[in-house]
């Protein structure tokens, strides 16, 4: 069971890394939820910008 959990964690991490590469190649950003529950945009420059509720539902 532990190997499956570790494999899943690795797959999630790799998926995030790929999303960052795609965002950099396309000049966009990734969106994720922080451990505090806030949705943010992260640009390839390292800038992290909080999203407001309207952006979550109307972008």
pLDDT tens digit sequence for 20-45: 999 999 999 999 999 999 999 999 89
Are residues 48 and 42 in contact, defined by beta-carbon separation less than 8 angstroms? yes
* pLDDT confidence band for 53 (50 / 70 / 90): confident
**Average pLDDT for residues 2-7, to the nearest whole number?**
89
* 29: three-class secondary structure by DSSP: strand
Cβ(48)–Cβ(36) below 8 Å: no
Domain boundaries along the sequence of the chain? 2-58
pLDDT above 80: residue 56? no
Q: Tokens 């910008």 map to which residue? A: 49
Exposure on the CB side of residue 26, measured as CA atoms within 13 A: 9
Confidence of residue 57 (pLDDT cuts 50, 70, 90): confident
Strand partners, 30: 42
């Amino acid at each position: 069971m532990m190997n499956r959990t570790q494999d899943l964690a690795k797959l999630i991490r790799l998926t995030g890394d790929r999303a960052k590469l795609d965002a950099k190649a396309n000049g966009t950003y990734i969106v994720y939820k922080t451990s505090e529950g806030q949705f943010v945009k992260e640009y390839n420059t390292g800038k992290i910008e909080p999203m407001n509720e309207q952006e979550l539902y109307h972008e």
